[in-house]
Chains A and B, each alone.
Chain A
Amino acid sequence: MTEELQDLSFLVLFNAAADAMLLVDSTGHVIHANSAAQLLLEYTEVELCSLEVEALMPFRYRQHHRQYRDFFYNKPEKRPMGYGRDLFALSRSGKEIAVDIGLSPIQTQKQLFTLITFYVAEKRYQAEQALRISEERLRLAKQAAGLGVFDFDSKHDVIHWDERMREIWGGDSSESISYEKFIDAIHPNDREARQAALERATDPAGNGEFNLEYRVINPKDKVEHWVATTGRMHFEEGYATRLIGVARDVTDRKIHEKKLQDERSETENIFKQQVAARTASAIAHELNQPLGAISAYSEVALHALQSGLVDRDKLKRALEGCVLQAQRAGRSLHELMAFLQKGELVTEKLDINKIVKEAVDITRGNGFGDFHTLLNLDPDMPAVLGNRVQVQKVLVNLLRNAVEAMRNANIPYSAITITARTNKDFNMAHVIVQDCGPGLDAETAKRIFEPFFTTKPTGIGMGLAISRALIEANGGQLWFEPTTNAGASFHFTLPFAP
């Protein structure tokens, strides 16, 4: 046995080795290359034997390698090369092969040879191990996030999916499912929305994103799940081919949202009931006041007639009071109806500057004459689109409020500034009515647009509420802005005519 072994020369063993090996002389030239090395590096032995070792490594390592080679020859010892760095061998076809390299000095009497061994299998194992770790990490992350992964092959109408997806969809253990079966598990009411989302993602002009929440009914246990999916469509030559993405079970969140929604709508209902109760109470008050006066006036008249002590002036006053109060009640009702009803709006092109001047004239004509106006109107203002009567009514109402506020505060010089200009932010006509009265305190400012809120003794409290409704019906906005100087300033916008 020993004799037989002695017959086995170095070269026989060298050639039989499973790992690729090169024998290199002290000048760095290859002397021998075993068959595994020839296979790995894609050279014949003859070709290899004319090469320096540097020719077998990527170009970027060659320059420094000669120095390393000198270090090794100065202190030859058996060791792995590269000290943990990633090493690559370069094949004849230019392929870089990840390898570990062992260096073994072989000292003969004449010279020093180096046996180079390439450990490819070990390196591959490490790479596979790294891949496994990476996959495991991904799997754990998916598990932690509750994510399922799907890959929809739209050419073959097949969906490849992972375990989590199968769990949600109640699928069997196979790696894929037909598109038809996949859709079957989706809630019938959500299929259309899903189809629409898919079509958007399929559109080559779009961004290919697929985002949707829909319900899945597990065919096994019939339990409904809400699923949030996010994916991206992949295109080949302009055609959508694959939709890859993740799905997550969001049932708990949906249930929570539904609960919140229910609570919110309940709160809203209570609020609406309160508003209705307050509205009814305010209507009652508005009608009760004139009714109370009419009742008293009538009894005064009746008593005068019954007692025979008729004072004609007082009788006249009582009956006139009846008439006025009945009319007041009617007017209140009309105003309320105007507020509550939403009739068809007839709009026309309006010159807002002209409307402002008309409104000032109307206000002056209605016994509100004692005020000065400062008109700050843009002469180049384009025409606005609105209902003439309604816009005028709003302006008159704002002017009246301003006059009353200044009169009640005994302002000696009552002046109202009316500004009309283009609001560039909204591209709308912007009108500001500013008085020099006492202004509004914060509490009043907060409530000023509430129906039936009033600071006036005989006010119904509908003026600003109606004004705001009218401006909004005309496509604009009406608001109050606190000003730094004294006085209240009301703003409204109206759209320009096209």
Chain B
Amino acid sequence: MMATVFIIDDDPAIRDSLSLMIEQENIAVETYENAESFLAAYQPECCGCAIIDVRMPGMDGMQLQEVLSKRNIILPVIFLTGHGDIPMSVQAMKAGAVDFLTKPVTREKLLISVRAAIHECEKKCFEISTHQEAVSRLSELTDRERGVMLLAIQGYPNKEIARHLGISHRTVEIHKSKIMHKTGAANLLDLARIAHEGNTDS
């Protein structure tokens, strides 16, 4: 999916100039004059990053970051501030901001930050999609098949699995073949990876 940069700043000139700058790099831009209108328009599948002004009337930048994190929105955040407020920047970075830039920001710095943020977003998006795929594949397994899989990926031979579960060697072989088919795993190692990714703990 194409990345979009969301600019949330109450100053129309800042929104306009930054969007021109980012569009020059052929990156899509959407601008919002306040946090509330951005939250109302945001679609969860969007990928890219958000450039947020710290100082805004209504919900300010830091509060917006909090809302994004509460809603599990993975969009990386770049903060823009008028003057370098160190305690605030530390707090923002701890809360997961990608960068904390001081206005006026140079083209070079801004674009480096934006690219890094988009890259991080894509990485996170990929992780999430593989996880979701694995979860959906594993969800097709029956309880018995899941039991066989857990033993198989721990390296138990078919004979051991059969004895452990009190079923025949032949039945284990049939289960294993169904497991490989349902998960699309090429081999046992691949199956172990899928099982790991689909683990809700990860």
Point out the residue from B24, B34, B103, B106 that lies within 8 Å of A289, measured CB to CB: B103
- Closest CB in chain B relative to A110 CB, distance in Å: 121
Between A and B, 7 residue pairs with Cβ closer than 8 Å are A284-B83, A289-B82, A293-B11, A304-B24, A318-B17, A321-B13, A457-B57
A288 / chain B contacts, CB cutoff of 8 Å: 82-83, 103-104
Q: In whole angstroms, what is the CA distance A475 to B20 when docked?
A: 49
B 21-55 to A, binary, CB cutoff 8 A, 1 in contact else 0? 10110000000011000000000000000000001
Q: When the two chains form their complex, are residues B17 and A321 in contact, meaning their CB atoms are under 8 A apart?
A: yes
Q: A321-B13, A457-B33, A457-B34 are in contact. Are A296 and B82 (CB under 8 A)?
A: no
Check: B14 CB closer than 8 A to any chain A CB: yes
Q: When the two chains form their complex, are residues A292 and B12 in contact, meaning their CB atoms are under 8 A apart?
A: no
Check: A485 CB closer than 8 A to any chain B CB: no
CB-CB nearest 5 A-B residue pairs: A295-B104, A296-B17, A292-B103, A293-B13, A457-B10
> Chain B: which residue is nearest A328 at the CB level?
B13
Q: A289-B103, A290-B13, A324-B13 are in contact. Are A314 and B20 (CB under 8 A)?
A: yes
Chain B: residues with CB nearer than 8 A to chain A?
10-14, 16-18, 20-21, 23-24, 33-34, 55-57, 82-83, 103-107
Q: In whole angstroms, what is the CA distance A294 to B105 when docked?
A: 11
Most chain A CB within 10 A, of B11, B18, B83, B105, is at B11
Check: A331 CB closer than 8 A to any chain B CB: no
Point out the residue from B10, B16, B24 that lies within 8 Å of A321, measured CB to CB: B16
A307 / chain B contacts, CB cutoff of 8 Å: 24
Chain A: residues with CB nearer than 8 A to chain B?
281, 284-285, 288-297, 299-300, 303-304, 307, 309, 314, 317-318, 321, 324-325, 328, 454-458
Point out the residue from A284, A289, A300, A317 that lies within 8 Å of B11, measured CB to CB: A289
Q: When the two chains form their complex, are residues A325 and B33 in contact, meaning their CB atoms are under 8 A apart?
A: no
Besides A289-B82, A293-B11, 18 more A-B contacts (Cβ < 8 Å) are: A284-B82, A288-B104, A292-B14, A292-B103, A292-B105, A293-B13, A293-B16, A296-B20, A296-B21, A296-B107, A299-B107, A300-B107, A303-B21, A309-B24, A314-B20, A314-B23, A317-B16, A321-B13
Q: In whole angstroms, what is the CA distance A297 to B14 when docked?
A: 9
Q: When the two chains form their complex, are residues B57 and A456 in contact, meaning their CB atoms are under 8 A apart?
A: yes
User: What is the interface of chain B mostly: helix, strand, loop, or mixed?
Assistant: loop
Q: When the two chains form their complex, are residues B57 and A296 in contact, meaning their CB atoms are under 8 A apart?
A: no
B14 / chain A contacts, CB cutoff of 8 Å: 289, 292-293, 296
Q: When the two chains form their complex, are residues B57 and A293 in contact, meaning their CB atoms are under 8 A apart?
A: no
A292 / chain B contacts, CB cutoff of 8 Å: 14, 17, 82, 103-105
> Chain A: which residue is nearest B12 at the CB level?
A458
Q: In whole angstroms, what is the CA distance A285 to B21 when docked?
A: 22
B105 / chain A contacts, CB cutoff of 8 Å: 292, 295-296
Q: When the two chains form their complex, are residues A281 and B17 in contact, meaning their CB atoms are under 8 A apart?
A: no
B104 / chain A contacts, CB cutoff of 8 Å: 288, 291-292, 294-296
Q: In whole angstroms, what is the CA distance A268 to B82 when docked?
A: 29
Q: In whole angstroms, what is the CA distance A297 to B57 when docked?
A: 24
> Chain A: which residue is nearest B18 at the CB level?
A296
- Closest CB in chain A relative to B176 CB, distance in Å: 58
Q: A284-B82, A288-B82, A457-B10 are in contact. Are A293 and B34 (CB under 8 A)?
A: no
Q: When the two chains form their complex, are residues B13 and A289 in contact, meaning their CB atoms are under 8 A apart?
A: yes
B18 / chain A contacts, CB cutoff of 8 Å: 296
A289 / chain B contacts, CB cutoff of 8 Å: 11, 13-14, 82, 103
Q: When the two chains form their complex, are residues B24 and A303 in contact, meaning their CB atoms are under 8 A apart?
A: yes
Q: A288-B82, A289-B14, A457-B33 are in contact. Are A297 and B20 (CB under 8 A)?
A: yes
Q: In whole angstroms, what is the CA distance A292 to B149 when docked?
A: 59
> Chain A: which residue is nearest B106 at the CB level?
A299
Most chain B CB within 10 A, of A294, A309, A457, is at A457
Q: In whole angstroms, what is the CA distance A309 to B23 when docked?
A: 12
Most chain B CB within 10 A, of A281, A289, A304, A455, is at A289
Q: A292-B14, A293-B13, A296-B21 are in contact. Are A455 and B57 (CB under 8 A)?
A: yes
- Closest CB in chain A relative to B125 CB, distance in Å: 28
Q: In whole angstroms, what is the CA distance A215 to B57 when docked?
A: 57
A296 / chain B contacts, CB cutoff of 8 Å: 14, 17-18, 20-21, 104-105, 107
Q: In whole angstroms, what is the CA distance A456 to B12 when docked?
A: 12
Point out the residue from A285, A324, A455, A457 that lies within 8 Å of B82, measured CB to CB: A285
- Closest CB in chain B relative to A404 CB, distance in Å: 13
Q: In whole angstroms, what is the CA distance A321 to B12 when docked?
A: 10
Q: In whole angstroms, what is the CA distance A300 to B23 when docked?
A: 10
A458 / chain B contacts, CB cutoff of 8 Å: 10-12
B57 / chain A contacts, CB cutoff of 8 Å: 454-457
Q: In whole angstroms, what is the CA distance A457 to B32 when docked?
A: 12
Q: When the two chains form their complex, are residues A297 and B17 in contact, meaning their CB atoms are under 8 A apart?
A: yes
B107 / chain A contacts, CB cutoff of 8 Å: 296, 299-300, 303
- Closest CB in chain B relative to A347 CB, distance in Å: 37
A325 / chain B contacts, CB cutoff of 8 Å: 13
Q: A289-B103, A292-B103, A457-B33 are in contact. Are A300 and B13 (CB under 8 A)?
A: no
Q: When the two chains form their complex, are residues A318 and B20 in contact, meaning their CB atoms are under 8 A apart?
A: yes
A299 / chain B contacts, CB cutoff of 8 Å: 21, 106-107
Q: In whole angstroms, what is the CA distance A303 to B112 when docked?
A: 15
B20 / chain A contacts, CB cutoff of 8 Å: 296-297, 300, 314, 317-318, 321
- Closest CB in chain B relative to A310 CB, distance in Å: 11
- Closest CB in chain B relative to A443 CB, distance in Å: 14
